[in-house]
Amino acid sequence: MSNPAAPDREPVSPERVRTLPEHFAWADHRLRDVLHRLTLEEIALLFFLHLAADRNGCSFWADSTIAKKLGIEEGEVIRARQGLLQKVFIAYRFPLHQVLPFEAHKR
C-alpha cells in the first residue's frame, strides 16, 4: 500500500535521468570545464546535490537543511537553485531536486 505522505520518487524529468560514466567520481569530471559559468553558491549547491543524489540523480533535502549544511542563507539556496535551473544543471519539482546529465546543459 502506498504512503500518501511519502514524496513522489519518480524523477522530475524521467527522459533525462543521468547515467554514471565509467570515470564517475561523485561528480562528472567534465564539470570543471563549466564551473566558471556558475556562482560559488551554485557550485556549492550542485556539489551538495551530487553527493545527496540517488542513482537517478534525485534527492529530497529541504532548503533550510541544505542552507545549514552549506553554511549559507536559505535565500541563497533558492537563488542558486534558480540559477542551476536556468543553466539546465538540475530539474526541480518541490520537494525533489534532480541532477541532470552533463549533456543536458551543454547548449
pTM (2 d.p.): 0.77
Q: What is the DSSP letter of 67?
A: H
Question: What is the CA 35 to chain-centroid distance, rounded?
Answer: 14
SS3 label, residue 93: strand
Read off the pLDDT band of 45 (50, 70, 90). Answer: very high
Q: Where are the domains of the chain?
A: 25-105
Q: Which amino acid is located at 47 in the chain?
A: F
Of 83, 92, 89, nearest to 103 by C-alpha is: 89
> Domain spanning 25-105 has what CATH number?
1.10.10.10
Position 48 scores a pLDDT of 95
14-30 pLDDT per residue, tens = 988 877 666 555 677 78
